Every structure is written in C-alpha cells, then in structure tokens.
Amino acid sequence: MSYSSVVRVMREQALKILWAPWRMSYVVKGSAEECIFCKAVRGGDEENYVVLRTEHSIAMLNIFPYNTAHVMVAPVRHVARIEQLTREEVLDLFDVLSKIIKAIDAEYSPQGYNIGVNVGRVAGAGVESHIHVHVVPRWLGDTNFMPVIAGTKVMPEDLRSTYARLRNRVLSHEIIR
C-alpha cells in the first residue's frame, strides 16, 4: 500500500470532533461526589427538570438525552441496586414509571420505548451509586444518517420546552390516575 493510500485511509477513519463546550460542566460535576438524583430530591423541580416526585420516587429529564423526552425514574433513597429497595419503593417506582409513560404517550405519541436499568459501570451506568430507570421514547426514523455518518444526534426540541410539556401533562388529572 502506498503512502498516499495510507494517508487517505487514515483521513477516512479519523475521529471527527464535535465541539460541545456545554458538556464540560457535566464532565466536571460527573467527577464530583454529589449525586444528580439526590441533588434533584433536595432541590427545586424546574432547575433539576423534575417532572414528577412522590414520597419514594423522582422522575427527571436526562439533560444529555438520547431522544426527546428521555426521562430517568429513580428512588428518593440513595441505593445502588434494585434488590436494596423496599417493597413500597419498588411499587412506587413502577407507578411513577407508568405515569411517565402515559404522559409521554399523550404528549409525544412515540412508536416504542427503550426502558432499562444499567447496574454498575461496566453495564453502562453513568451514575452507578443511585439506581435509576431510563425511559427513552422511540420513533421510526429517529436514527438517521446524522448519528451514523456524522456522529451527531439532532434534538428537535429544547429541554425547557420538553420539561414544560411533560410537567404539565404529568400534573393533568388524566395522568395522575
């Protein structure tokens, strides 16, 4: 293989950089000891994007979402694993999960969901010390050429708008039941 062929291949396979300076605060905070879920439990709803809170659970928008209306549901109590939850906490967590799905369905009409729990860093947990459930709405075509070719995800709605829509929907009487 010639030198110019090697250079061409290296350029084609080179890592592309998308500058995202707003993520620095997350990276810095990510190494801090403060848990984002415990912070949200203690803090205000709007500044923490909390769309629903109950005695045992909290539901908040992921500020680095995989898709619009990506919500995380977590117990109020700081525990790392599902089996550490009490029966009341498990029931409440799933009740909140159900309400969040109903709210997203009513507001966004997704065609499916990825719902999951990552236990431990090797399983993909970004916050491994506080168990949480990811609720990621999905639509046909939400994975297009941008993430595949350009390594960039296009988010069609800003977080504040998503927060307002979901919060209003969650607090409506049709979802609370």
- What positions carry a catalytic annotation? 132
Rounded-to-integer distance, Cα 158 and Cα 49, Å: 12
Rounded-to-integer distance, Cα 76 and Cα 55, Å: 8
Q: What is the CA radius of gyration of the chain?
A: 19
What is the chain's length?
177
Rounded-to-integer distance, Cα 73 and Cα 37, Å: 9
